Amino acid sequence: MGNGTSIGRVRGLGSSKHGAGHWLVQRYTAIGNLILIPWLLISLALLPGYDFPTVHDWAARPLTATLLALICINTFYHARLGVQVFMEDYVHEEGNAFAVKTLLNIVPLAASVFGIICVLRIALSATTGGAA
Amino acid sequence: MSASTSRSRMRPMAPHLEIWRWGPAMAVSILHRAAGQAMAFVGIPVFLWFLYALASGTDAWVPFARHAGAWYGQVVLIGLSWAFFEHLTSGLRHFVMDVGAGYELDTNNSWSWAVPAIAIVLTALFWAAIYLR
CATH of the domain at A45: 1.20.1300.10
Domain of A118, in residue numbers: 17-124
3-state secondary structure of A48: coil
- A45-77 tens-digit pLDDT: 999 999 999 999 999 999 999 999 999 999 999
Name the closest residue on chain B to residue A43, using Cα atoms. B130
Domain of B70, in residue numbers: 22-131
Name the closest residue on chain B to residue A53, using Cα atoms. B58
B49 touches chain A (CB under 8 A): no
Query: Strands, E, within B6-103: which ranges?
Result: none
A3 phi/psi in degrees, rounded to 5: -135, 15
When the pLDDT of each residue in chain A is averaged and rounded to a whole number, the result is 91
Q: Within chain B, which residues score under 70 in pLDDT?
A: 1-9
Q: Is residue A44 part of a domain?
A: yes
User: So what's the ipTM on this one?
Assistant: 0.87
pTM listed for this prediction: 0.87
- B11-37 tens-digit pLDDT: 777 778 788 788 899 999 999 999 999
* Minimal Cβ distance to B57: which of A7, A119, A130: A130
Q: How many CA atoms lie within 13 A of A12 on its CB side?
A: 5
- Number of domains chain A contains: 1
Q: Verify whether the Cβ–Cβ distance B48 to A114 is below 8 Å.
A: yes
Tell me the angle at which helices B105-131 and B24-38 cross, rounded to the nearest 10 degrees: 40
> In angstroms, rounded to a whole number, what is the distance separating the alpha carbons of residues A79 and A63?
23
- Number of domains chain B contains: 1
Q: Is residue A34 part of a domain?
A: yes
Residues 92-111 of B with CB under 8 A from A: 95, 98
Residue A7, C-beta contacts closer than 8 angstroms, at least 6 positions apart: B12
The alpha carbon of A50 is separated from its chain's Cα centroid by a whole number of angstroms, namely 25
Q: Is residue A100 part of a domain?
A: yes
Please report residues of B whose CB lies closer than 8 A to that of A6: 10-13
| Interface size, chain A vs chain B, as Cβ–Cβ contacts under 8 Å | 94
